[in-house]
Amino acid sequence: MNPKQRRNGPVIYEIRVRGVLDVEWSAWLGGMNITPQADGETVICGPVRDQVALHGLIVKIRDMGLPLLSVNRVDVAPPVEDDL
């Protein structure tokens, strides 16, 4: 990746899986938003710190036995300001 293309901060990803996942799994998936869909799929969405964290999240989804349908980068999350 070109250094000029790098962005600081987490990136928001939308991950779609087949199966209905209860929203209580959010904490185990790093606080991601879990939205069950009427079509029997679930959307898992939220900020991901880096590629290592993204791969870790995908491994957790695999370990749950949920078929992975898609992984989409949605946007760069706004930077978090430190409280001074």
The phi, psi pair for 73, rounded to 5°, reads -80, 120
Task: Report the C-alpha gap between 69 and 12 in whole angstroms.
Answer: 17
> What pLDDT, in 10s, does the model give residues 7-43?
567 899 999 999 999 999 999 999 999 999 999 999 9
Give the separation between CA 42 and CA 36, rounded to whole angstroms. Answer: 4
Does residue 61 carry a pLDDT above 60?
A: yes
Check residue 75 and give its pLDDT: 75
User: Rounded distance, CA 54 to CA 20, Å?
Assistant: 21
Predicted local distance difference test score (pLDDT) of residue 53: 95
Write down the domain spans for the chain.
9-74
Q: Spell out the CATH class of 9-74.
A: alpha beta
Which residue type is seen at 5? Q
Please determine, for residue 4, whether its predicted confidence score (pLDDT) is greater than 50. no
What is the 8-class DSSP label of residue 39?
T
